[in-house]
Amino acid sequence: MKRQVTVKGRAGRIEIQGSRLRYVRDDGVEVEREFSIRDGSVLLNGRSYRVSLGTGKDVWVNGRLLSMEVFDPRDLRPGQGTSSGQGRQEIVASMPGKVIRILVAAGEMVKEGQGLVVVEAMKMQNEMKSPKSGRIVEVRARPDATVGAGEILVVVE
């Protein structure tokens, strides 16, 4: 998984592969570490960081307030949406986390943008939405289950 980030006004990117995290700022600073997420804490290279949501784009990390923005660079591709809504769509977990709620059932009809499943990662709840109107073919996610980055949660057709 790759994401563009802005932390305290500094742009960069984060790449996550399994339990490996790589953070590269646009000014050349680079950090690569092993990590895990457990009970609202991020364990990074043996050190624990308590993480919780603030308001808006703010995140609390070990009692320190950070302004943080994260987005998927694929969302900025021109022409997206013209063909991406065609055919079978697999909705996947963007990062490791825990399934909090399942909002749909197999066979149910959904509209584009409708919430399908809620996954909590780093104490942030992320609602995965349907990329298109259609029918739920399969719900692989289970409440309270731990999921990995890229794991298929729901299939829409």
What is the model's pLDDT at position 73? 60
As for how many domains the chain has, the answer is 2
- Same domain for 94 and 152? yes
Residues 59 and 103 in one domain: no
Which residues have CB under 8 Å from 129's CB, separation 6+?
113, 114, 115, 116
Residues 99 and 124 occupy one common structural domain: yes
User: What pLDDT, on a 0 to 100 scale, did the predictor assign at position 18?
Assistant: 83
Q: How far apart are CA 81 and CA 131, in angstroms?
A: 8
Tell whether pTM > 0.75: no
Q: What is the pLDDT of residues 138-153, one digit of tens each?
A: 999 999 998 887 788 9
Judge if 56 and 30 occupy the same domain.
Answer: yes
Rounded Cα gap, residues 103 and 130, in angstroms: 11
The CATH number assigned to the domain holding 28 equals 3.30.700.30
Q: Which region holds residue 111: left if phi is over 0, alpha if psi is between -120 and 50, else beta?
A: beta
In terms of domains, do 108 and 67 share one? Answer: no
Q: Residue 70: which H helix or E strand, with range? A: strand 64-71
Determine the pLDDT at residue 75.
56
Tens-place pLDDT, residues 18-65: 888 888 888 888 988 888 887 778 888 888 888 887 777 788 888 888
| Domain that residue 150 falls in | 87-156
pLDDT above 90 as % of the chain = 23
Residues 46 and 100 in one domain: no
Reduced to 3 states (helix: H, G, I; strand: E, B; else coil), residue 83 is: coil
